[in-house]
């Protein structure tokens, strides 16, 4: 216990640092509340499936109904973080960046009989970009300007969830306190004598609650196989937000400034659209697992302070397969779970009549480590994918991610039989 608590605190401080920093570099994060998470959580190496996934090793916070699958005599602690390398290219130029993102910190335990609970921190979206443009001034023949567009921030949530099991049926709900800042800046500098530059900053602060409900139903198909069906969803809700907009013009010769706009909207809101995921998980001989998911989010109804942002709806399909050679095998490699998956996303973004899609393949393993009165599960997942395209002057991103997921099972609630 004395050794584990400092490790918990270290994970908490590290994850909080990841939450607070600029956690993505993709230009596609400039839209709306930022880049939505396509693949994260304890089942990243299975393509990110989650709707029907339930086991007694992982906290599946993406579907709260899964909490009832946890060991009733254990206290669970789980920490995950993703490191990412991205290569960005157009038909003329290319660049790259590295970030840490998608941190999560979760705990879970049984409250009473068939009632379980979980709580923790997760990242909901990321914003982080820095773009430069060199363009001709409208109406001019030979006068140009530099434009810098940048942004940072994103949304996080602190959630508290409960789940209850009625025989083969499990029901759960997460109450998430969503909070975060989204800041977008534009700097325009005309390249002419006696010129000026214009700076503008648009900052949105969000603070509200979202409820996510989950359902899972398991059935035995034979003595050696079982099927689990699951869904998780949240209804459309309006999140309270404050918008601060300021813009000013600075003369480069005299350094005098002129305020162009200074507006504060204290009573606005951002709509968080309806989202639902549904899927299945088929287990055979406690050895093979095949799972699939489909996720839909009605991003076409997304609005900021009453203004329609004209996005498309979000769609994602994912599939994964895992192999556990022998749960109680003699050799360590027999007790490891080996995962393989893939996913495809049609995002809400459409630019120059081109949909910004994402395709990825995943693989990894989960390795159990047994310690006195506790268990540790080390998960390593690799995610290789492509986002966007170079067509019509757009940007393509090729990324490689590695996610580490560490889960502890503590025997705090287990009674000693022999003193």
Specify the pLDDT at position 274.
94
pLDDT (0 to 100) of residue 135: 67
| Per-residue pLDDT at 17 | 46
User: Strand pairing partners for 283?
Assistant: 226, 289
Give the C-alpha separation, 60 to 37, whole Å. Answer: 15
Is residue 61 within 8 Å of residue 80, measured between CB atoms?
Answer: no
In a domain? residue 72: yes
For residue 265, give the CATH number of its domain: 2.40.160.60
Cβ-contact 241, 268 below 8 angstroms: yes
Q: E-assigned strands of 38-143?
A: 75-89, 94-112, 115-136
Residue 419 falls inside a structural domain: no
The parent domain of residue 138 ranges over 4-410
Sign of the dihedral defined by the CA atoms of residues 49, 99, 245, 198, in that order: negative
Structure-token match 């918008």, residue found: 243
Stretch among 22-26, 194-198, 316-320, 405-409 having the lowest mean pLDDT: 22-26
Q: How many domains are contained in the chain? A: 1
Contact 55, 374 (CB under 8 A): no
Residue 116 placed within a domain: yes
Tell me the two tokens of residue 419. 């003193």
Query: How much of the chain exceeds pLDDT 90, in percent?
Result: 44
**Confidence grade of residue 12 (pLDDT, cut at 50, 70, 90):** very low
Most distant CA atoms of the chain, gap in Å: 90
In a domain, 28, yes or no: yes
Q: Is residue 417 part of a domain?
A: no
Q: Is residue 160 part of a domain?
A: yes
Q: Please give the model's pTM, rounded to 2 decimal places.
A: 0.86
Q: What is the pLDDT of residue 18?
A: 44
Question: Band of the pLDDT at 9, cuts 50, 70, 90?
Answer: very low
Which tens digit of pLDDT belongs to each residue from 116-132?
A: 999 999 988 888 888 77
pLDDT computed for residue 3 by the predictor: 44
Tell me, yes or no, whether 415 lies in a domain: no
Domain membership of residue 234 (yes or no) is yes
- DSSP strand E in 143-274: where? 144-166, 169-190, 196-222, 225-234, 237-251, 257-272
pLDDT at residue number 198: 77
């Amino acid at each position: 216990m004395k050794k584990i608590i400092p490790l918990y605190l270290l994970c908490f401080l590290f994850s909080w640092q990841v939450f607070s920093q600029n956690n993505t570099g993709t230009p596609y994060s400039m839209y709306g509340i930022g880049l939505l998470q396509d693949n994260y959580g304890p089942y990243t190496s299975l393509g990110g499936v989650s709707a029907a996934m339930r086991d007694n090793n992982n906290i599946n916070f993406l579907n709260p109904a899964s909490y009832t699958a946890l060991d009733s005599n254990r206290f669970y602690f789980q920490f995950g973080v993703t490191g990412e390398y991205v290569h960005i290219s157009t038909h003329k130029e290319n660049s790259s960046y590295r970030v840490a993102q998608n941190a999560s910190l979760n705990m879970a335990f049984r409250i009473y009989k068939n009632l379980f609970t979980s709580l923790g921190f997760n990242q909901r979206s990321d914003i982080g970009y820095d773009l430069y443009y060199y363009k001709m001034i409208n109406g001019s023949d030979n006068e140009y300007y530099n434009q810098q567009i940048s942004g940072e921030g994103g949304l996080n949530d602190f959630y508290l969830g409960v789940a209850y099991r009625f025989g083969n049926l499990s029901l759960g709900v997460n109450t998430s306190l969503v909070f975060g800042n989204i800041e977008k800046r534009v700097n325009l500098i005309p390249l002419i004598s006696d010129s000026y530059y214009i700076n503008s900053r648009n900052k949105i602060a969000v603070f509200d609650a979202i409820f996510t409900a989950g359902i899972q139903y398991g059935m035995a198909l034979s003595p050696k196989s079982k099927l689990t069906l699951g869904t998780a969803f949240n209804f459309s809700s309006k999140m309270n937000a404050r918008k601060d907009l300021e813009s000013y013009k600075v003369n480069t010769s005299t350094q005098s400034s002129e305020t162009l706009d200074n507006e504060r909207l204290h009573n606005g809101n951002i709509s968080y659209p309806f989202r639902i995921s549904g899927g299945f998980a088929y287990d055979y001989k406690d050895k093979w697992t095949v799972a699939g998911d489909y996720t839909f989010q009605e991003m076409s109804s997304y609005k900021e302070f009453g203004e329609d942002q004209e996005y498309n709806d979000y769609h994602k399909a994912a599939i994964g397969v895992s192999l556990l050679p022998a749960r109680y095998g003699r050799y360590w490699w027999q007790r490891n779970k080996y995962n393989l998956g893939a996913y495809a996303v049609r995002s809400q973004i459409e630019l120059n009549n081109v949909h910004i899609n994402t395709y990825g393949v995943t693989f990894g393993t989960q390795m159990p480590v047994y310690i006195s009165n506790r268990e540790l599960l080390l998960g390593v997942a690799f995610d290789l994918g492509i986002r966007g395209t170079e067509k019509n002057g757009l940007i393509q991103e090729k990324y490689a991610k590695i996610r580490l997921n560490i889960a502890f099972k503590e025997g705090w609630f287990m009674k000693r039989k022999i003193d």
